[in-house]
Amino acid sequence: MSERRAGEDILRVEGLRVEVRTDRGPGPVLVDDVSFSLRRGEVIGLIGESGAGKSTIGLTALGYTRNGCFITGGRIDFEGRDIRQMSAAERRALRGPGVAYIAQSAAASFNPAMTLFEQICEIPVLHGVMAAAEAKTEAIRLFRELDLPEPEKFGNRYPHQVSGGQLQRAMAAMAMAARPDILVFDEPTTALDVTTQVEVLAAFRTLIREHRTAAIYITHDLAVVAQIADHIMVLRFGKMVEYGPAAQILAAPREDYTRRLVADRVAGHDFRALRTVGEPPLLRVSNVVASYRSLLRVIDDVSVEVSRGDTVAVVGESGSGKSTLARVIIGLLPRESGDIRFRGESLPPQLARRSKDQLRRIQMIYQMPDVALNPNQTLLEIIGRPVQFYFGRPRAEVRARVLELLRMMDLPEAFIARKPAELSGGQKQRVGIARALAAEPDLIICDEVTSALDQLVGEEILRLLKRLQDELGIAYLFITHDLGTVRRIANKVAVMLKGRLVAGGDTATVFAPPYHPYTELLLSSVPEMRRDWLDEVLARRGETLKAVRDAQIRLAS
């Protein structure tokens, strides 16, 4: 594309409207009256919860809408020309050299049957921007820029031969292949582990800055966008809530919705419980070892204690064994050695050996409320069954108890006859909590209970759990990867790495210096709202990573 003076608008979107149209007439409006502009070298962050229309807007910049969606209003000017008026051939010429796209899941977006070189080089070659040899040299240069291993040979690999973080960066290389003017990033780090996210984010930022490429950065995480965007647009239900310079949105949001998003992320509520002293612990997990099919050891010598009224968080990245620990405690995966004592007595390893009372006193809430509730049962059956099963109450009392629990969950009583499909995600999670409470447990294990929910909905669930703890004195064991939440809700924490416990104790102690190196790595990887956060992290990154490696070697030996 032609070189132009920096500072001129390269993309200008005005009054954009996107609707779903089906055979049976118009459907919902996905994007309604959205306007923004983008200059060369500038980054705009689109932020919002699911259903906000962020991805839809991002795709329209490429003149693309998903099946059944249509742009029904407004203009999208790329270098002064309306994309909507372009012919199919012109639009095709735009995609790649003009605007390029980086998707959330690189694993799904790369063709499994082609090598990375083939998929990257075909763009500049087919668009006539470069010859094949030149395209390959360019790809290798991009690989090097993106810190990918063995840049010369990296492109000969197939997508499945490359790790998730590397593949995400390879997709950035693919997008840059034809030197586009605009990059559209669609939640590019959401699927990654928090420690991987930092490197990928840094690589993206360097890329944009070096090439002075304009970018649309789509995410649900304000802290991520704070590191990379010059302007931020907050979206909700397809409409603009607030649009302005990043510094202003983060420091002095005008709209109430934005304020809530920012406030929860920055400070949030302190949910930490005060620990009751003197009592023996409710649950004591000591030196537990467990493995799948007695081959792969997933939990190795782990000890955790939970007292009445405690909130204990078990944190770690995917594959750390934190969810397995929950399954071992609950008895779904029998431990091989070690002991689990609950209320002073040892719990049998197998589920089948446990007494009804032992089962009742430990309940669990799941990550995906969709699969945790039987779609064929009404809420009366779902919540009422534990009441009937554990306490053998007559039907009328069961019903009264379910109604009481619904009220506690702030759910309307009329929901008693509904089935899960008629509920929203947050409401389903409340039903999951009500079902756990129906057993009147001492301990509830919460397995990533907010990670499938939108930020504000998840926040409400946390608030509800806190209120229940204050009222009923239940202890929580929180399995989570979200350290931001842990800091606010847990009075004790256990940090897991590859099946082992690397740090544990009071949150205040574990999360304060001197840290265990891995705790430091995790903590430092959680994006913060401060705009210079990423630079600070990167400055210390090398040291932290080296310390973790040393610690791992010590653990292994």
Q: Which residues in this chain contact another protein in the complex, by CB under 8 A? A: 59, 62, 64, 66-67, 92-97, 100-101, 103, 105, 108-114, 122-123, 126-127, 158, 160-161, 174, 330-332, 351, 354, 356, 359-360, 364, 366, 368, 371-377, 385-386, 389-390, 421, 435, 439
Residue 226 Cβ vs another protein, minimum distance, rounded to whole Å: 27
With contact defined as beta carbons under 8 Å apart, do 135 and 177 qualify?
Answer: yes
Q: How far apart are CA 342 and CA 328, in angstroms?
A: 13
Residue with smaller CB distance to another protein, 114 or 508: 114
Whether omega before 514 lies within 30 degrees of 0, making that bond cis, reads: yes
φ, ψ at 77 (rounded to 5°): -90, 120
Residue with smaller CB distance to another protein, 231 or 428: 428
Q: How far apart are CA 203 and CA 482, in angstroms?
A: 22
Residue 132: both structure tokens together: 């094949």
Residue with smaller CB distance to another protein, 66 or 467: 66
Strands 296-306 and 231-236: unpaired
Residue 161 Cβ vs another protein, minimum distance, rounded to whole Å: 5
Residue with smaller CB distance to another protein, 165 or 253: 165
Residue with smaller CB distance to another protein, 331 or 499: 331
**HEC-encoded secondary structure of 367-434:** CCHHHHCCCCCCHHHHHHHHHHHHHCCCHHHHHHHHHHHHHHCCCCHHHHHCCHHHCCHHHHHHHHHH
Q: How far apart are CA 250 and CA 242, in angstroms?
A: 11
Q: How far apart are CA 473 and CA 469, in angstroms?
A: 5
Residue with smaller CB distance to another protein, 359 or 479: 359
Residue with smaller CB distance to another protein, 256 or 292: 292
Helix or strand (DSSP H, E) at 78: strand 69-78
With contact defined as beta carbons under 8 Å apart, do 362 and 309 qualify?
Answer: no
Residue 111 Cβ vs another protein, minimum distance, rounded to whole Å: 4
Contacts (Cβ under 8 Å, ≥6 apart) of 439: 360, 361, 363, 386, 390
Residue 215 Cβ vs another protein, minimum distance, rounded to whole Å: 15
Residue 301: both structure tokens together: 């010598």
Which neighbouring-strand residues pair with 11? 38, 78
Residue with smaller CB distance to another protein, 110 or 342: 110
